[in-house]
Amino acid sequence: DQQVKQNSPSLSVQEGRISILNCDYTNSMFDYFLWYKKYPAEGPTFLISISSIKDKNEDGRFTVFLNKSAKHLSLHIVPSQPGDSAVYFCAASAVGGNNDMRFGAGTRLTVKP
Amino acid sequence: DAGVIQSPRHEVTEMGQEVTLRCKPISGHNSLFWYRQTMMRGLELLIYFNNNVPIDDSGMPEDRFSAKMPNASFSTLKIQPSEPRDSAVYFCASSTPNTGELFFGEGSRLTVL
């Protein structure tokens, strides 16, 4: 069962433009959401997170938006840079639960110079 | 401090052989996770441990898969007998309950011929 879904396997944007990566979840118990970034031959690394008490969290060029009613979150990267080219995974967990974290299938972002 | 350490980084074996993947979590982290990355399903949670105790192994594909955590600094994921469809990258991750963030190893790429 895919509790976290990333329906776009890939996204290509021009350098300097905005990248928007989307994620949907089905489990209403999830209350903590994260984005991870993965380069080839490396493990995923934490990028940004948001708890369910917020609807927006910003860190430099990266902003995560959460729409709890729609069970949807998105990651905005502005401006996009070639070094942002990677696979981005959306993840969710229930902090008060058993601490397991579920990931989406990932979206491969390519930022073209 | 060293990150999560996984071995081997690459494993090529023949169908029917036993495969053992190893993981050393970050010192002080009391949760450990095994994930499998495939093109179709992204990062799948196989099993996770809290304080060395397996909490949820519902993601383990079949009885051919088993995982152990004999102490706080070591875990193994074993596949016996291995099959070509087990070919994937297997990630180990660790965390503490308070951060909600997982720290991943670099992964073990398994190829079963």
Gyration radius of chain B over CA positions: 13
Q: How far apart are CA A96 and CA A52, in angstroms?
A: 12
Give the pLDDT of residue B98: 65
Residue B100 to residue A49, Cβ atoms within 8 A: yes
Residue A102 to residue B45, Cβ atoms within 8 A: yes
Most B-contacting residue of A52, A103, A107, A108 (CB-CB within 10 A), to test interface? A103
State which residue of chain A sits closest to B93, comparing Cα positions: A43
DSSP assignment letter at A69: T
Q: How far apart are CA A18 and CA B93, in angstroms?
A: 31
A16-58 per-position pLDDT tens digit: 999 999 999 999 989 999 999 999 989 999 999 999 999 999 9
Spatial contact of B104 and A43, defined as CB atoms under 8 Å apart: yes
Q: How far apart are CA A42 and CA B107, in angstroms?
A: 7
Q: How far apart are CA A63 and CA A20, in angstroms?
A: 10
Nearest chain A CA: its distance from B103 CA (Å) = 7
> How many percent of chain B have pLDDT more than 70?
96
Give the pLDDT of residue A80: 98
State which residue of chain B sits closest to A107, comparing Cα positions: B42
Residue A98 to residue B56, Cβ atoms within 8 A: yes
Give the pLDDT of residue B91: 97
A57-102 per-position pLDDT tens digit: 999 999 999 999 999 999 999 999 999 999 999 999 886 555 678 9
Give the pLDDT of residue B58: 87
Distance of CA A95 to the CA centre of its chain: 18
B3-12 per-position pLDDT tens digit: 999 999 999 9
Of A6, A42, A95, the CB nearest to B100: A95
B23-51 per-position pLDDT tens digit: 999 999 989 999 999 887 889 999 999 99
Residue B100 to residue A89, Cβ atoms within 8 A: no
